[in-house]
């Protein structure tokens, strides 16, 4: 009796996040076309993380009913799927429910002999171990060489394998830090504070029409508090006739009692006396438009004492395809519902979800620049309830890893807040920004080499001084004066006129 040879279908790749989306809508109610990954909304509602122990400005009004009805603002974007070549290669294949029955029915193939396995396994282990140790050590602590090595390794091994290696290293590093702390081998000290450039206290004029930005002490989370923790240190006064008002201030806080060595450094800037700019890098964010920027601060803003600070940008295009537009030119198209910081023609700042906030859309001709990244971290004073879910915070694998993270926020008064620190989760980064008074916030970048901020001061002799916001940050600050591969933010000093100093805060996160 002749039997027809049965060939089982090729096994299909099942993404680790597939179970997360099993109960989520994958198609539009009006059409049969599937929604883009960035439009899939997480239905599960984790406990709200809304710390009430922090001092700071009162969040803009938002009733609990409004919070529950606006979960579309809490978009979590899934990680990148492996390429078809990776799926076909068999390295990442996982049996699907449709093919399991066929595979169980097949006669098992003869296993390789123990002798042959013993010959192969040690070689692979040695090679993988050497590559892993080499890459992760360079990536996490050796500047430009480490960043280049990480990119090369990611190109060869693929984003999934690279993320797994990185996650392994971060986990080992975190466990080692914990053990050192528990054994008393790791001592926690307050980070060195930047030197204040405030020469003397200037009394306000008799008819002063402007008040200083609020800098209330933050209530510390970890006890006992370190010396100076939660206290703002004014760095520089505003220029001209506003020299009685602070322009920027720094502080630090530890947001996680379980990781007391995780320290977040904060920088708050009064947007009445500073202007935010966005620069596209020479290679990133890249994207389908093949549009690339100068990667450097405008020459006019480098002249004199105009340049105030530089801040790291967002994820690379490969890590989310998040949009960027600056000087009216779109470098990467916007992603619906993605967290966005935008700048208007008059210098106003907006943080919100693209397409959810009525002012954040491609039809708004008043927007001159915007940068997207991940999901909103804080929305109207509430920390994102989905900080532990999805891939919006650095990939599915890296989402739960303790690493360097950075973010931007806006306070109720319209001030810009930058935060960066070590051993952070998205949730603890959000707690730090919330403690600083941010009512709208977003994560920007992660990992040691990509989280950085610098302050600039040029004296009357033309000598430029650059200081790191945190001495542990990598880089020099000069990279942004020439041509950097990555996108970034920078701020310039600004002296307002009497008609440009009034600001109001709205529930959408806009300040005017």
Q: Identify the pLDDT of residue 226.
A: 96
pTM recorded for the entire structure: 0.73
CB of 167 within 8 A of CB of 401?
Answer: yes
Element of type H or E holding 249: strand 246-253
- Packed helices 114-141 and 159-182: angle between N→C axes, nearest 10 degrees: 70
CB of 442 within 8 A of CB of 354?
Answer: no
- Using CA atoms of 213, 216, 220, 221 in order, give the dihedral in degrees to the nearest 10: -60
CB-based burial of residue 32 (10 Å sphere; 0-12 exposed, 13-18 middle, 19+ buried)? exposed
Angle at 210 between CA 228 and CA 242, to 5 degrees: 75
Q: Identify the pLDDT of residue 121.
A: 47
Each residue's pLDDT, cut to its tens digit, for the chain (512 residues) gives 555 555 544 444 444 344 333 444 434 444 444 444 344 433 433 334 444 333 333 333 333 333 343 455 565 444 343 444 444 444 333 333 343 344 334 444 555 455 444 445 456 555 655 555 555 555 555 555 555 556 666 666 666 666 677 676 667 777 777 777 777 777 898 888 888 888 677 788 877 789 999 999 999 999 999 999 999 999 999 988 899 999 999 999 999 999 999 999 999 999 999 999 999 999 999 889 999 999 999 999 999 999 999 999 999 998 889 999 999 899 999 999 999 999 999 999 999 999 999 999 999 999 999 999 999 999 999 999 988 775 667 664 556 688 999 999 999 999 999 999 999 999 999 999 999 999 999 999 998 989 999 999 999 999 999 999 999 999 999 999 999 999 999 999 999 986 555 453 444 444 54
Q: Identify the pLDDT of residue 171.
A: 72
CB of 274 within 8 A of CB of 414?
Answer: no
Domain spans of the chain? 124-182, 233-493
Q: Which two tokens stand for residue 134?
A: 């080499």
CB of 327 within 8 A of CB of 369?
Answer: yes
CB-based burial of residue 451 (10 Å sphere; 0-12 exposed, 13-18 middle, 19+ buried)? buried
Measured CA to CA, the distance from residue 7 to residue 100 in angstroms comes to: 13
Q: Which two tokens stand for residue 354?
A: 């693209």
Q: Identify the pLDDT of residue 134.
A: 54
């Amino acid at each position: 009796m002749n039997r027809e040879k049965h060939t089982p279908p090729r096994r299909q790749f099942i993404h680790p996040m597939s179970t997360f989306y099993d109960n989520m809508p994958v198609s539009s109610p009006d059409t049969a076309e599937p929604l883009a990954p960035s439009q899939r909304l997480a239905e599960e509602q984790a406990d709200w993380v809304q710390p009430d122990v922090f001092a700071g400005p009162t969040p803009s009004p938002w009733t609990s009913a409004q919070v529950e009805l606006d979960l579309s603002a809490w978009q979590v974007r899934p990680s990148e799927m492996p390429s078809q070549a990776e799926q076909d290669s068999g390295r990442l294949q996982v049996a699907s429910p449709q093919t399991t029955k066929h595979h169980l029915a097949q006669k098992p193939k003869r296993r390789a002999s123990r002798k042959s396995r013993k010959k192969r396994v040690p070689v692979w282990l040695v090679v993988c171990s050497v590559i892993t140790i080499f890459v992760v050590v360079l990536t996490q602590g050796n500047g430009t060489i480490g960043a280049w090595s990480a990119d090369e390794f990611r190109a060869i091994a693929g984003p999934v394998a690279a993320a797994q290696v990185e996650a392994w290293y971060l986990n080992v590093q975190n466990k080692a830090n914990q053990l050192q702390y528990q054994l008393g081998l790791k001592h926690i000290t307050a980070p060195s504070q930047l030197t204040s450039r405030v020469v003397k206290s200037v009394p306000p004029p008799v008819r002063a029409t402007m008040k200083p930005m609020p800098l209330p002490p933050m209530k510390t989370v970890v006890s006992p508090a370190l010396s100076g923790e939660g206290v703002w240190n004014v760095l520089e006064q505003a220029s001209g006739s506003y020299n009685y008002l602070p322009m920027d201030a720094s502080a630090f806080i530890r947001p996680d009692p379980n990781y007391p060595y995780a320290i977040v450094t904060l920088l708050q800037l009064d947007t009445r006396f500073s202007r935010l700019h966005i620069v596209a890098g020479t290679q990133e964010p890249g994207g389908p438009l093949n549009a690339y920027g100068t990667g450097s601060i405008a020459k006019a803003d480098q002249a004199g004492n105009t340049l105030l600070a530089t801040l790291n940008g967002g994820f690379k295009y490969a890590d989310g395809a998040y949009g960027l537009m600056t000087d009216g030119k779109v470098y990467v198209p916007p992603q619906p519902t993605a967290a966005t910081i935008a700048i208007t023609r008059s210098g106003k700042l907006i943080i919100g979800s693209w397409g959810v906030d009525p002012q954040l859309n491609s039809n708004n001709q008043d927007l001159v620049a915007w940068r997207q990244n991940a999901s909103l971290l804080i929305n109207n004073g509430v920390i994102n309830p989905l900080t532990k879910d999805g891939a919006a915070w650095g990939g599915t694998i890296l989402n739960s890893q303790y690493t360097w993270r950075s973010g931007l926020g806006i306070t109720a008064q319209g001030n810009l807040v930058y935060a960066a620190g070590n051993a952070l989760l998205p949730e603890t980064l959000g707690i730090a920004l919330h403690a600083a008074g941010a009512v709208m916030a977003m994560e920007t970048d992660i990992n040691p080499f990509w989280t950085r901020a610098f302050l600039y001061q040029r004296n009357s002799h033309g000598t430029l001084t650059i200081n790191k916001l945190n001495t542990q940050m990598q880089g020099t600050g000069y990279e942004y004066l020439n041509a950097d591969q990555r996108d970034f933010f920078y701020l310039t000093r600004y002296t307002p006129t009497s008609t440009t100093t009034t600001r109001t805060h709205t529930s959408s996160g806009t300040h005017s």
